[in-house]
Chains A and B, each alone.
Chain A
Amino acid sequence: MNKVLGICNLHDTPSLGLLTQNRPLGALSFLSRYGLMDFTLSNYSNSEIDQILILTEKNATAVLSHTQQGNVWINNTKVGFLRIAVNEKMLEAPKFNTDIANMEAHRSILEETKPDYIIVAPTFFLMSFDFRKLIEFHEEQGAQITCLYTTTTRGKKEYLNCDSLEIANNHVITNSKANTGETNKQNISLETFIFTRQAFEEVMAMSHQVSSMYGFRKMISFCINHRRMPVHAYKFEGYVVPILSGEDYVNRSFDLLSYENRQKLFLEDWPIYTTTHNTPPALYGKNAKVSNSFVANGAIIKGSVENSIISRDVVIEDGAEIKNCILLSRTFISKDTKMEYVLCDKDVKVMETKSLKGTKNKVLIIKQGDLV
């Protein structure tokens, strides 16, 4: 069996404004009980990839507090590992704090594990994907680098600024450019790459001659467009949930309230693992009124909740009415508060203000720890 190093890449991520101010996108809570990175980590785990490295630009504490020891995703904790790498030298120089620079700073991991293949995957395309299929294709093609992609028929509105690919019949990518929303039908890079060890080293070395500000994504586009190394393309046929903006985060969360969508993301034999928080079951009071909502353990609901996502240890007091809201962990909603289209980040307490309203197109976001 081939040795594979799975990299969960928290560099080079879209900004979600307030939500990603103090945490990497990958550590952001999703659907009441997950962190976005759980999908990537679980895909590795379910694909029997037991050596996982998380590359993060900063906020290692937020990452660590989510992953804990990492045992949730690791099968054998002696043979396998989950490690977190942050490039301390580059913390003051964000433009040069790339995934490639971080990898180079931790290249001892490559010497130690001697992987045949290295996979780099981001955390903002949520999917249930078996990496073994990508490895198999990569081997069949005798490829040096293979890029996972999806197709869209809504390219004018979706996947904006993602890499749009032109692919020849022999599965080799001939062009890569940012999607500026010109056409609907496009091949979109899922920024998930598999490299042979040699190609991985070559791309890292090449980056010194090209730009110290380029990470894997830009280097691969460079390789494609300047014909420096052939890059193959493998199509993912399944369901992708892109989280590329604050709007995506909100809308995609609400989309998944539909059973039909949920079934496409969460597959029967493909569990998404997350760290346990030892929270008790959710508790519903005698006047609770809850419909079309996700509720995480530890929540106490005495008021009414509709079309909403309620995370761990949230408290909703009597008479409160919550509609189309996303409440992250430990939000407290006092008695008789009415809220619509509001996203409360962790530890928000809504005490004095009894009415908070956003709109469908502009959800009101309350900052982590705020008291309103």
Chain B
Amino acid sequence: MSKKVVAMILAGGKGTRLEALTKKTAKPAVSFAAKYRIIDFPLSNCANSGINTIGVLTQYESTDLDAYVGNGEKWGLNGVHSLMTSLAPRQTEQGANWYKGTADAITQNIDFLDDNNPDYVLILSGDHIYKTLYNDMIDLHEESGADATISVIEVDPAEASRFGIMAVDKNDRIVEFQEKPKQPKSNLASMGVYVFTWKTLRKYLVADSKDPKSEHDFGNNIIPNMLNNKLKLQAYRFKGYWRDVGTLASLHQANMDIALDNRLLDLYDGSRSTRIYTEDTYSVPQYIGPQGSITRSIANQGSVILGKVDCCVISSDAVIEENALCTKCVIMAGARVKVGAKVNNAIIAPNVVVEENARINLKSDKVVLIAKGGKK
């Protein structure tokens, strides 16, 4: 990559719709696919794309997330030409301010970007599940001479009103942006992944910060302002698996996708170029007992399966005791399903214990969260 790119990952949201899972944890730090945390995906994508300067914007329950992000070593981002840091709101000469919106979070860190003086800024969301290399998108941005390039994905037209929709011309130049429109003009949804030419974005951020009516949001303010001023905004069509895991149901479904069909998001491709990296645990290997059974599932090291599981995602050090049965469950780290318990269609939060012979959600299609339980 010839031009310098700095990635800024928006990871400050609370994720209220994940209920108790985000009571003490920021959404990007929530467990995913037995071994990972959600933020591992954008961070690994950056690492694999050769983007080595990254700011992670944290706010809600930032301590754990900041500690997890650390110096980027888990993603190989601690090398000699790398810089990775988390950027939580801080006190400055102008006073102390929370991040008031996605754009404000960047504005408050203009110094960080000025110091690194990038050609382009890649804005990412810390809570999306997908595997990609950003290089093609950045190349498109450069070649098309756009001021901003927005990654879009085709969605079911019937669902389009749930997204921010981009109307484009025949060259995929964006002509209109509609936030959750009743009558969508296209089926191209914004993924919340943007490449901006830094000098241009900087001007818009400064202007936006002075606008008392602004919500300081990329989707609601910065992008519409750029469009109104006839700047060149290009759509980049993303092909592949991409999920926003903002709700319990979508988090559960994305986990099931990985367990049931690894072609959707292949974590197992032999090539090392698109691996997802994460923190490793020092658990013993996973063990399946003499009476155990595991099908259509993924399981991480340290898990112990003495009962039966089908269509499950089992994190490290989770234990499924004898005669227990779990179907369509996402079982997070250290959780324990005791002897004879039966659980269906559930997310079991970390370290929660499902009591002996419990019966949970057996006949329901609706995903439940089990966030409280007895003693280990």
Point out residues on A near B: beta carbons under 8 Å. 31-33, 257, 259, 262, 266, 271-274, 276, 278, 280-298, 300
Contacts and interface: CB of A to CB of B under 8 A. Distances in A.
B284 A290 contact: no
A292 B295 contact: no
A17 B372 CA distance: 53
B125 to A, nearest CB: 22
Interface stretch (B8-16, B163-171, B214-222, B298-306): B298-306
Q: How large is the interface on B (under 10, 10 to 19, 20 to 34, 35 or more residues)?
A: 20 to 34
Given A280-B35, A283-B262, A291 B293 contact: yes
B111 interface: no
26 contacts: A262-B284, A262-B287, A266-B284, A271-B282, A274-B282, A278-B278, A280-B33, A280-B35, A280-B267, A280-B276, A281-B298, A282-B286, A282-B299, A282-B300, A283-B259, A283-B298, A284-B297, A284-B299, A287-B295, A288-B296, A290-B293, A291-B288, A291-B292, A292-B289, A295-B285, A297-B301
B34 interface: yes
B273 to A, nearest CB: 12
Tell which of B268, B277, B282, B285 has the most Cβ of chain A within 10 Å. Answer: B285
Contacts of B259: 283
Interface in B224-253: none
A84 to B, nearest CB: 21
A300 B270 CA distance: 12
Interface in B253-267: 259, 262, 267
Contacts of B262: 283
B282 A281 contact: no
B285 A31 contact: yes
B80 to A, nearest CB: 14
- Say what secondary structure dominates the interface of chain B: loop
B211 interface: no
Contact of B286 (A259, A266, A273, A295): A295
Contacts of B313: 281
B277 A272 contact: no
A31 B285 CA distance: 7
A290 B267 contact: no
Interface string B4-44: 00000000000000000000000000000111000000000
B156 interface: no
B39 to A, nearest CB: 16
Please give me the 10 A-B residue pairs with the lowest Cβ-Cβ distance, nearest first: A280-B267, A276-B280, A281-B34, A271-B282, A281-B298, A294-B285, A281-B300, A32-B285, A292-B290, A290-B288
Tell which of B34, B278, B288 has the most Cβ of chain A within 10 Å. Answer: B288
Contacts of A295: 285-288, 299
B291 interface: yes
Nearest to B304: A259
B294 interface: yes
B275 interface: yes
A282 B35 CA distance: 10
Nearest to A38: B282
